[in-house]
Amino acid sequence: MDWVIWLIWIVKGFFLAMFLLVGFAYLTWYERRALARIQVRVGPNRAGPFGLLQPIADAVKLIFKEELTPAKAYKIVFFLAPIITMVPSIIIAAVIPWGPQEPQVKLFGYTISLYVADINVGVLYLMSIASIAVYGIVLAGWSSNSKYAMLGGLRSTAQMISYEITLGLAFVTVILLAGSMRMLDIVEAQRSWWFVVIQPVGAAVFLIAVLAEVNRAPFDMPEAEQELTAGYHAEYSGMKFALFFMAEYQKMIVVSAIAATVFFGGYLGPFVHRWPLLGPIYMLIKIIILLFGMIWVRATWPRVRYDRLMAFGWKVMLPLALAIVFITGFGILLAQELGDPIYLTVIPAASIVAGVIAVIMVNRALTRKRILSYEPR
């Protein structure tokens, strides 16, 4: 029977990888159609009905596009960097649960769990794998032997390290609320209330940090084409460039799945504990909604200047995340000591106050800079 267990793991891993690969392709279509609708345009509509074959056409174009390698590039690292960037975007999804542990799904006489791996330190696994992706980006910039690509790689490294601290603290609030680092326990702890209700500002901090982590607008400074001629992947073309492109969109799907799991109830929904196959459907709906939020932000927010991006990460997001952790711990301790869960309402109330104070401080700082930079004619 051991070979059956191995076969089930391989099949589940294969389907998860295929979901991310196909999802990456059609996320590009989804983004282009959504951006077109927001900006009152048409979007892709020529290749197939509603442009549904456009991702396939783009894939064929990139496959047959000529690949160029700079003569003075560090060729082995130049070749490996896209792989180092793309692989973590797939394997990080291994611990995301897509359905409840009980009741289990029966298929062909075998019990199938709706997740690839169930480990007690799932959150630690997520943070560890997420931190690997930055190596591929900085190595891509360094191995290109180009000053523009190197600057893009350094920018990305500084940005991702800065916002990873905030992201880790946002995970800490989830661990405190769930009392576990296991992803299934985190989802089941949200059966009464989603964590976004208990800690709304913590969810906002998490989503903002995630945008910076995946280099999405308005935090896409590592790819600021006006200054760095496309940033760290300036010297890449063909399938090597496609791997960077693939990694970004796969990370969008994965971080949306993580956000849905830790703050929006994951697979929980009506009747899911009676029919567990509803779990993946609820997860997919939540992922699509969160992805639309990322696309909406890209369509409406201008790019942040790099110095302000770093200042926002260190002077606003980090102190706010620390305050959120303190408030969450204080609220949980208060409810435990007084023996009444009603005191958990201190957490959302105090966190909203902290968020409002942070917004006021940002507004005051921007107003002061605008006044100081004003020169009367």
How far does CA 74 lie from the centroid of its chain?
A: 30
For residue 112, which phi and psi values (nearest 5 degrees)? -115, 125
- Helices marked H in the chain: 2-38, 54-63, 75-91, 122-130, 133-143, 147-178, 183-188, 195-198, 200-213, 225-228, 238-263, 278-300, 306-311, 318-338, 346-373
- pLDDT of 209 reads 92
> With bands split at pLDDT 50, 70 and 90, how would you rate the model's confidence at 103?
low
Region of poorest pLDDT, from 6-10, 181-185, 205-209, 344-348: 6-10
Q: 132-165, pLDDT tens digit by residue?
A: 878 888 888 889 888 888 888 888 888 888 888 8
Reference 214, options 311, 85, 25; nearest CA is 85
pLDDT, mean over the chain: 86
Res 173: pLDDT: 94
Q: What pLDDT is attached to residue 175? A: 94
pLDDT digits (tens, 9 = 90+) for 208-230: 999 988 888 788 776 665 565 66
* Rounded percentage of the chain residues whose pLDDT exceeds 70: 94
Mean pLDDT (whole number) for 11-33? 87
pLDDT at 294: 93
pLDDT attached to residue 355: 94
Tens of pLDDT, residues 274-319:
888 888 899 999 999 999 999 999 899 888 888 888 889 899 999 9
The label of the residue with tokens 């949306």 reads 256
**pLDDT surpassing 70 at residue 183:** yes
Residue type present at position 202: G
d(CA 309, CA 315): 10
Q: Quick check: 360 pLDDT over 90?
A: yes
Cis peptide before 55 (omega within 30 of 0): no
For the chain, the domains span 2-373
Give me the pLDDT at residue 141, please: 86
Rounded Cα distance, 114 and 294, in Å: 26
In this predicted structure, what is the pLDDT of residue 332?
92
What is the predicted pLDDT for the residue at 223? 62
Q: Provide the pLDDT for residue 1.
A: 52
Distance CA 287, CA 282 (A): 9
Pairwise CA distance, residues 227 & 235, whole Å: 15
Residue 153 has a pLDDT of 81
pTM: 0.91
Cα(31)–Cα(298) distance, integer angstroms:
10
Kindly state the DSSP code that residue 79 receives in the 8-state scheme: H
